[in-house]
Structure 1
Amino acid sequence: MKRNTWYIFSIVTLISLFSSCLTVNADLSIQPDGSGKITMDYRVSKKAIGFQKDSPAGARLITLPVNRQELDKTTAGIDGISILNVIDREDREYNYINSEFNFSSFRTLSKYCGIPIELNLIGDISQLTMEFFEQDQAVSRETTTYLSSFYNEDYLHFVISVPGTIQNSTYGLISPNGRTVEYRISLQDLYSRNQFIWVLEWV
């Protein structure tokens, strides 16, 4: 999912207007047949939600559902999603969503998350590739320094459990039993990179 530098810079600048725009915790459990369960717990700034609704430039600012109504609408149009539990609430500044659902395949999960996700079998190795974003070049050091004051509370946190022993992971800390990898990245660090593509392999 390649994006040009100006697009990324524009989106980052827009997000910087909304301190603590997005925080996501995702717990993904994968079954041998490629199905699985995911729990997502996240909060979204109401200012960012309002901007996304009112401006074409913000149309892709947040790809996840921002309330129960949007979540139901999104999952209704995707075969292979089975919602187990949803809790949503809000306060003056944020919408909070906690959702748990089963998915039948990573093609299904890819449609829900709005990013390319593929699971391939290469010999005896299962290879999961998640393309969060890719751009021509990273945001400049000056821009990263500027954004650091806004992104101090924003992060993405992942825990992925696989039905085998992990052989390789682009990111994260692999558990002692070799079946789980955990990774946390701040939005400041995320947008200082020219890409965020996670490859995870297990046997």
Structure 2
Amino acid sequence: MINLADVAAYTMALGIAAAIPGPGITALVARSVGSGTRAGFALLTGIIVGDLLYLSFAVFGLAIIAQSFSTVFTFIRWASIAYLLYLAWQFWTAERHDMQSTETSRSDLGAALTSGLGITLGNPKTIAFYLALLPLVLDLNTVTVGNWAMVLVPATIAVLLTVGTVYILGALVVRRILAGSKAQRNLHRSAAVAMAGAAGTMILREL
């Protein structure tokens, strides 16, 4: 049975880890600026699902199983790197468009959700938090299925949704302000550099 202090320690650690900009946050902000709120929250949903998967691995002692699929996770990480580089290219070559438009197709939302999941599963920071740092924050031997379902899962969703929403809202403010051609070009190229930088960081960790 986990107590309130354990939950507080977990949510604080998760909140700090989530708020630190990484590939997931970079993609979240860039997608929110480029495609609007719905796409941003779709990508955030993918991020949350990925975190819940790693939380489940850690809580149910499946770290060994996760490690046994190292080849799969390596492929996911490289696929995430490729996706970030693709986004960087898209933003670098993007043309000016109507920032007030909020139309997003179902395929775009699906792509955003899938990319959020892929980036999270391939993010070394997420892997390190749940499979290495989480056991230091929580005594996983005391966590039951009920604790996982009724406490840790809702707490994880709440923390990630809160942090992600803050970033999305910040991105939307930028989206509304930067309507001019030059401002949009600078914004897109800054996002492209950020995406490429995140991909480069992941590549260095793979080498």
Q: Do both proteins adopt the same fold according to a TM-score greater than 0.5, normalized to the shorter chain?
A: no
TM-score by length of 1: 0.24
Of Structure 1 and Structure 2, the greater strand share is in 1
TM-score by length of 2: 0.23
Of Structure 1 and Structure 2, the greater helix share is in 2
